[in-house]
């Protein structure tokens, strides 16, 4: 009887734990927007801390004033970006028919027909293959307008989110010492020093990483825009913007961006002669984009990944590749920050491990 009671109690406890776990997951799902705001606020805080320290040390600002000025500068940059770019992006997106899937499919069909006619003029069998494959009916072009609509929808309805992020960031920056003291109070005395040192190093490295990432995307956007303007591509701003945003995805993003730039460049030149205008312009743009990628991969990229998080480029490549295989595109995006956090923690808690010493020698 006792054994039956124990089994029954164990089952009840297991069911209760499972139910509690599911309730927690459901609760987190319900407040996913709040969690997103907190995560974005943490990134803003990491990017803002160097500015706050600069204002305090160099310009002798009081702490609260330095925090307020830092967030005001962030707000000015965001509002300036929106005021300058969003109206242009909306207008060019409509001109390019990126908000209309049917228009995109019609443009692609016309583009394929022109390419087919061009290949047939040289007697190439690939034109017949294109027709037999019926490529245009098999491709789903929804990702283009959906991608742009997601970005524009986020930018046009983020008022509450922006206010929430700034509010949370203000207290993260203002009361960072209070949070540190609170964490110290909760930590076991045995590991208190190691955990606090880890948090300080993580904050320093990720601050440099996110600032560098913003600079990298800005530089890539400007270079893309210059390439498109040089070759007179219409709707250059929206194409450069989309390709720069895709650059957030390591390695795969620039490749997708180059293909997208080629397709959108062709679509922007529909109506012109394919052989003398559309094809040469697209080739020039592709070459220009590849040059930009060479600059990014050999200059801005290594500066961010190697210097910001103190990791070897090959090490970063393998980490991103592994994360991509395991968790897809999201894994590739968060691979570097997460790997940096794990390295710092490993260095603090396992400093004598040979592998850890090799991987964290520059931290």
pLDDT category, 11, cuts 50, 70, 90? confident
Task: Report pLDDT digits (tens) over 201-223.
Answer: 887 788 788 888 888 888 899 99
Angle between helices 32-57 and 159-174 (to 10 degrees): 50
Report pLDDT for 243. Answer: 85
> Which pTM value belongs to this model?
0.67
94-103, 188-197, 342-351: range with lowest mean pLDDT: 94-103
CB–CB of 343/334 below 8 Å?
no
354 assigned to some structural domain = yes
342 assigned to some structural domain = yes
Average pLDDT over residues 291-296: 86
Task: Report pLDDT digits (tens) over 16-25.
Answer: 888 888 898 8
Report pLDDT for 42. Answer: 82
Report pLDDT for 105. Answer: 56
Q: Is the pLDDT assigned to residue 246 strictly greater than 70?
A: yes
In Å, how far from its chain's centre is CA 87? 22
Report pLDDT for 226. Answer: 92
Q: Is the pLDDT assigned to residue 297 strictly greater than 70?
A: yes
117 assigned to some structural domain = no
- Domain range for 259 is 191-363
DSSP-assigned letters across all residues of 282-303: HHHHHHHHHHHHHHIIIIIHHI
Average pLDDT over residues 45-53: 83
Q: Which comes out higher in pLDDT, residue 326 or 104?
A: 326
pLDDT category, 87, cuts 50, 70, 90? low
Q: Is the pLDDT assigned to residue 98 strictly greater than 80?
A: no
68 assigned to some structural domain = no
240 assigned to some structural domain = yes
Compute, in degrees rounded to 10, the torsion defined by CA atoms 311, 317, 322, 326: 100
1: DSSP letter: -
124-133, 176-185, 228-237: range with lowest mean pLDDT: 124-133
Helix, strand, coil fractions of the chain, as percent rounded to 5: 85, 0, 15
Report pLDDT for 262. Answer: 83
Burial of 8 (0-12, 13-18, 19+ CB in 10 A): exposed
Specify which of 32-36, 189-193, 284-288, 355-359 reaches the highest per-range mean pLDDT. Answer: 284-288
257 assigned to some structural domain = yes
Task: Report pLDDT digits (tens) over 304-359.
Answer: 777 777 777 778 878 888 888 887 777 887 888 888 888 888 888 787 777 777 77
Number of domains in the chain: 2
Report pLDDT for 136. Answer: 47
CA nearest neighbour of 99 among 258, 235, 228: 235
Tokens 């124990």 sit on residue: 6
Give the Cβ contact number of residue 266 at 10 Å.
24
CA nearest neighbour of 144 among 261, 226, 288, 222: 261
157 assigned to some structural domain = no
135-149, 156-170, 298-312: range with lowest mean pLDDT: 135-149
Q: Which tokens hold the place of 25?
A: 């997951």
Average confidence score pLDDT of the chain: 75
110 assigned to some structural domain = no
Average pLDDT over residues 240-256: 82
């Amino acid at each position: 009887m006792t054994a039956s009671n124990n089994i029954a109690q164990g089952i009840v406890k297991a069911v209760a734990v499972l139910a509690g776990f599911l309730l927690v997951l459901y609760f987190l799902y319900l407040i996913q927007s709040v969690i997103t705001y907190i995560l974005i606020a943490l990134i803003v805080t990491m990017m803002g801390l160097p500015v706050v320290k600069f204002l305090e040390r160099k310009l002798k600002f009081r702490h609260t004033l330095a925090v307020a000025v830092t967030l005001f500068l962030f707000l000015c940059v965001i509002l300036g970006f929106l005021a300058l770019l969003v109206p242009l992006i909306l207008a060019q997106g409509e001109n390019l028919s990126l908000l209309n899937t049917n228009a995109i499919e019609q443009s692609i069909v016309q583009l394929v027909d022109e390419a087919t006619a061009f290949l047939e003029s040289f007697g190439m069998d690939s034109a017949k293959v294109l027709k037999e494959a019926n490529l245009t009916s098999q491709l789903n072009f929804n990702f283009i307008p959906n991608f742009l609509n997601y970005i524009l929808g986020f930018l046009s309805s983020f008022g509450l989110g922006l206010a929430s992020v700034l509010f949370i960031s203000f207290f993260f920056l203002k009361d960072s010492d209070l949070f540190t003291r609170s964490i110290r109070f909760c930590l076991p005395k045995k590991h208190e020093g190691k955990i606090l040192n880890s948090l300080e190093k993580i904050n320093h490295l990720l601050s440099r990483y996110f600032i560098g990432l913003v600079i990298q995307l800005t530089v890539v956007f400007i270079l893309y825009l210059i390439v498109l303007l040089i070759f007179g591509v219409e709707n250059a701003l929206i194409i450069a913007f989309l390709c720069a945003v895709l650059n957030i995805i390591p390695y795969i993003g620039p490749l997708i961006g180059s293909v997208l730039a080629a397709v959108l460049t062709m679509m922007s030149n529909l109506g012109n002669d394919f052989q003398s205008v559309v094809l040469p312009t697209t080739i020039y743009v592709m070459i220009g984009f590849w040059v930009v990628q060479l600059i990014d991969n050999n200059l801005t990229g290594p500066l961010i990944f190697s210097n910001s998080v103190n990791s070897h480029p090959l090490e970063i490549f393998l980490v991103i590749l592994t994360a991509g295989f395991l968790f897809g595109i999201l894994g590739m995006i968060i691979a570097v920050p997460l790997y940096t956090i794990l390295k710092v923690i490993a260095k603090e808690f396992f400093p004598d491990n040979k592998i850890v010493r090799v991987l964290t020698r520059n931290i």
